[in-house]
Structure formats: C-alpha cells, structure tokens
C-alpha cells in the first residue's frame, strides 16, 4: 500500500531544520563575542562587540519587518558589558566614564531596572556617547562589588577617571540617558535640522527648548547651558534654526531668543517669559515640569517628594473614579498652579496608598479620599466632606489661602457640659488649649498608669478650687512611660 506524503510533516521537518540552524548560529556568535562571562570587556571583546552590533544593524536594514521586540532587547543587552573579578579594575581605570549597575539575580527591582538600563545604553550609543555601560552580579562577585562600594541592589554608580559618584537620577531609560549625558559633559542636545528634530521627538516626550540664532553671541545662551548642567532630570535642547524650533514648539511666536517647556500632558507647551538666567530658568522648570495632575508611581516618588511645591494634595481613588474627576482636577490644578500640587494615587495599590492613609487612621479604603500634606510645616489635612469636584476645589482653595485646619487623629468629641475637668481630643485641642483665652492646666495620661490615676485625682480636686480664669484639662493619651506627647499624637 502506497502512502502519500503528509504536507504537515514536510513543514515540521523544515521548521525543525531552521530552528537547529538558528541555534548553531547563536552558539557560534556567543563563543566569538564572549561578552557574558570570562574576559568580558577586554579590548578583543569590545572589538567583537562592535562587529556584532554592525551585523545586527545590517540585518535590521535588510529585514526591518522581521526585527522583533525580543531581538531589539537582546541587542541592547549585549551593549552592556558584564564585569567580573578579572576585568573590573581594568575597564574602570581604562575608560574616562563608566556607569556600573550592581544587581543580584534574585532581586525583583534589579530585574525591572536591567532592561531599562540596556535601553539607555542603546540610546547613548546612538547619540555617540563615550560612556561605557557595565553591570556586575553583586552576589557572584561580592568581593569586587564591595570594593566598588555596592551595598544594596540595584545600585548605580558613575565612575569618572576611576572615581565613583552616586547616581541621583530617575529610573526610566530616558531619565538614565539624560542623567548620564549631563554628567559626562553633554548638558544639551544640539539639533540643527528638521530630520534630526523629528527623530528626537520620537524618543523624547518631555524637554526644554532653547532657540538661539547665534549660539556664541546670543544673550542668555551661557545661562541656558548652565541651567542644563545644574538640572539632572529634564533634557535640554538647543537650536539655531527657527524651523527646527517651530517643529518642536508649534506655539512659537518669535524667531529671537526663546525658552519653552514641552510635555505630553494637558499643558503640552509652556513658554518661559522671564530673564534668561540659569536660576530663573530652573525655577520655571521646577514649577512646570510635572503634569497638572501627577500620577504617583514607585519610580517617581523621589521626584514628587522633592518638588519645590511643598503643599501637595493627594487624591486616592480607583482608576474609574479618577477618570470621572480628571478634568475637574486639571482645572483646579491650573487655578492653583505653583501654590499646590495635585497627585493621583491608585487606591488599590497598597504599597503606595496605605503608608499615607494610615497617617489618617484609615486602614481599609474603597472610596475616593482626598488628603493633603504641607511638607514645609509638617502638617496634614483631610477633606471630610463628599469628594465632589466642587468640594475638592473648595478644599484646595482653603489650603492655598491657609484657612483649612490641620487634621489630627481624634476620638469622638466628648460631652463636657457640667464637667469640672474638660476632656480634650484631637479635634478640639486647638480650640480648648492653644486658642483658649484662659489659663490651662493640661494633663496627659493613660488609663493603665497607676501614677496617672493618682495625678488625675489631684487634678480633679484642683479643678474645684481653681479660679474662673483657669480650667483643668484631661487628655487620654496612650503613651509609654517617659514619652513626650506631641500635638499630632493626641
């Protein structure tokens, strides 16, 4: 009996052959390059790395439609040199600029940062940066990591001529690129053609633009570059071409010296109208670099807390509830811009939301909550009415004008009528103690303290004998012996 060939079986054999051939090619490449492992980073290795990247670029030109995301990530990761016990000192001492990522295989944060680090390495190479991007397994090479002063994971360090500096930038690939460029002597990017500007816009969504028709002679150019050097977060772009400037900043209405901020948020284009001085430019940048309503994430918490706008209003809500409030919140933020900062926190993200909510005694929140912190005065505030758009705006207005009372954890307000000793709780402390026109004797006690009980009896006796201008006050504070109570703990 004859058997007809099965087309599927032919396809399977062909597919298997292609897979095996691809595997052999990968093995040959890996053995030639040797970036991961033994003597990664030696002169021969770096030459092989350049050859491999050239091959990657050629393949991408020949078959761009087949360039997968996995191949792109793989290419980026090969640009980052793997340090070990043998090559670390030679590479750091032999290169003017080296940025090192210390990681551990078991560290989740390291796993999140490594692909961003690799993407930054790719971007820096495309910009022609001379910095060497390297990583080291701090667990496997613990002695070397200790010598580099890597004490936790992940850790980023910049070595300039062999001397280390701590990394103080953000943790997205773009933020890493910006920080590294500025620290390695490239505070601004110069764009001299529309094509370059178009390519830049595909990769950078937030930047500050400076138009100087004659860079060497234009008033304020040096101050613009100085501001770029002092800032570590935002990419500064300079151009002499008004055509380039109008592509980057369509709202541009002048061909003279101009500075403006571009963002992806509601207020996409913001022109600077002050003097071209570094200090003033940085003030403008710090007041405008955040969105009207900033979404708090684990990667931007440091930037948010360090904002020069210290009065910060936080809206805790679900994503759906926030979307219904988004437009009104932007309007409110626009009205009180530079006076307060509006921040959205996903209430379902317990790692971000609960540390704040517990400060207000809120342990399990499911509905929208609006709170505020004045980081200058170390005070906190809570909107206790319905979080409607009008109530939120009124709350923000009161904060901006200083008419909202700080929030304190508090027991229910007690009934003090006909009491010789007045009981005080958090909500009544200001009125009965701090703002009282009478003399006040304040006792802070705990129910379980024997000594407190004896003192309380003496206070009660005193209250019956005190003059009309004096009163005794009881505060039930669960304090440990020898602790000093503060207003916020009442």
As a residue count, the chain comes to 490
Specify the 3-state DSSP secondary structure of 133: strand
> Choosing from 53, 73, 107, 444, which is the catalytic residue?
107
CA–CA gap between residue 128 and residue 117 (Å, rounded): 17
Task: Please give the average per-residue pLDDT across 138-155, as a whole number.
Answer: 93
Structure confidence at residue 84 (pLDDT) = 93
**Greatest CA span in the chain, whole angstroms?**
121
- Nearest 5°: phi and psi at 207? -165, 165
| pLDDT-above-90 percentage for the chain | 45
> Choosing from 160, 271, 423, 449, which is the catalytic residue?
449
Cβ neighbourhood burial of 367 (10 Å; 0-12, 13-18, 19+): exposed
DSSP string, 287-345: HHSS-SEEEP-TTTHHHHHT-S--EEEEEEE-HHHHHHHHHHHHHHHHHTTTT-EEEEE
Structure confidence at residue 255 (pLDDT) = 77
Bridge partners, 259 (sequence order): 210
User: Is 276 part of the annotated catalytic residue set?
Assistant: no
What's the pLDDT band for 484 if we cut at 50, 70, 90?
very low
Pairing of strands 97-103, 155-160: antiparallel
| pLDDT-above-70 percentage for the chain | 77
Task: Please give the average per-residue pLDDT across 393-404, as a whole number.
Answer: 95
What's the pLDDT band for 433 if we cut at 50, 70, 90?
confident
> Choosing from 180, 452, 471, 473, which is the catalytic residue?
452
CA–CA gap between residue 295 and residue 301 (Å, rounded): 10
Bridge partners, 448 (sequence order): none
Taking all residues of the chain, what is their mean pLDDT, rounded to a whole number? 80
CA–CA gap between residue 257 and residue 246 (Å, rounded): 13
Q: List, in order of start, the domains of the chain with CATH numbers.
A: 31-181 (3.40.30.10), 187-288 (3.40.30.10), 293-401 (3.40.30.10), 421-489 (3.40.30.10)
Q: Is the Cβ–Cβ distance between 15 and 62 less than 8 Å?
A: no
Which of residues 366 and 211 earns the better pLDDT score?
Answer: 211
CA–CA gap between residue 335 and residue 337 (Å, rounded): 6
Residue 330 vs residues 308, 402, 477: alpha-carbon distances, Å: 19, 21, 41
Task: Please give the average per-residue pLDDT across 89-113, as a whole number.
Answer: 94
User: Is 449 part of the annotated catalytic residue set?
Assistant: yes
Residue 87 has pLDDT above 60, yes or no: yes
Angle between helices 43-62 and 7-33 (to 10 degrees): 150
Residue 464 has pLDDT above 50, yes or no: yes
Q: In Å, how far from its chain's centre is CA 171?
A: 7
Q: Is the Cβ–Cβ distance between 409 and 360 less than 8 Å?
A: yes
User: Is 452 part of the annotated catalytic residue set?
Assistant: yes
């Amino acid at each position: 009996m004859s058997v007809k060939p099965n087309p599927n079986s032919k396809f399977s054999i062909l597919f298997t052959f292609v897979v095996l051939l691809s595997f052999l090619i990968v093995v040959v490449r890996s053995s030639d390059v040797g970036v991961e492992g033994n003597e990664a980073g030696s002169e021969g290795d770096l030459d092989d790395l350049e050859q491999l990247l050239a091959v990657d670029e050629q393949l991408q030109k020949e078959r761009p439609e087949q360039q997968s995301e996995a191949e792109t990530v793989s290419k980026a990761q090969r640009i980052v040199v793997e340090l070990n016990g043998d090559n670390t000192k030679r590479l750091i001492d032999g290169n003017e600029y080296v940025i090192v990522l210390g990681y551990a295989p078991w560290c989740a944060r390291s796993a999140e940062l490594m692909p961003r680090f690799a993407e930054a390495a790719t971007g820096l190479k495309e910009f022609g940066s001379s910095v060497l991007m390297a990583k080291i397994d701090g667990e496997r090479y613990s002695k070397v990591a200790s010598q580099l002063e890597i004490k936790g994971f992940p850790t980023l360090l910049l070595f300039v001529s062999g001397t280390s500096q701590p990394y103080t930038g953000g943790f997205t690939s773009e933020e890493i690129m910006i920080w590294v460029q500025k620290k390695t002597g490239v505070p601004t990017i110069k764009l001299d053609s529309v094509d370059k500007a178009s390519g830049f816009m595909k990769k950078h969504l937030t930047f500050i633009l400076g138009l100087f028709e004659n860079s060497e002679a234009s008033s304020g150019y040096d101050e613009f570059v100085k501001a770029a050097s002092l800032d570590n977060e935002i990419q500064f772009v300079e151009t002499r071409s008004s055509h380039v400037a109008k592509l980057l900043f369509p709202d541009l209405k002048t061909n003279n010296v101009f500075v403006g901020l571009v963002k992806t948020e509601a207020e996409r284009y913001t022109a600077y109208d002050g003097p071209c001085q570094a200090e003033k430019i940085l003030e403008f940048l710090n007041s405008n670099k955040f969105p009207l309503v900033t979404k708090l994430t684990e990667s931007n918490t440091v930037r948010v807390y360090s904002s020069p706008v210290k009065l910060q209003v936080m809206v805790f809500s679900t994503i759906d509830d926030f979307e219904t409030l988004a437009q009104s919140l932007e309007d409110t933020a626009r009205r009180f811009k530079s006076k307060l900062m509006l921040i959205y926190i996903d209430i379902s993200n317990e790692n971000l939301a609960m540390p704040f909510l517990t400060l207000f005694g809120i342990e399990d929140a499911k509905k929208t909550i609006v709170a505020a912190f004045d980081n200058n005065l170390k005070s906190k505030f809570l909107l206790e009415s319905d979080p409607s758009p009008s109530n939120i705006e009124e709350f923000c207005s009161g904060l901006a004008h200083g008419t909202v009372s700080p929030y304190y954890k508090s027991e229910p307000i007690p009934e003090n009528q006909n009491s010789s000793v007045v009981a005080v709780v958090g909500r009544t402390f200001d009125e009965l103690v701090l703002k009282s026109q009478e003399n006040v004797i304040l006792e802070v006690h705990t129910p379980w303290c024997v000594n407190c009980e004896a003192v309380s009896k003496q206070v009660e006796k005193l209250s019956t004998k005190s003059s009309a201008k004096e009163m005794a006050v009881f505060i039930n504070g669960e304090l440990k012996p020898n602790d000093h109570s503060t207003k916020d703990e009442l």
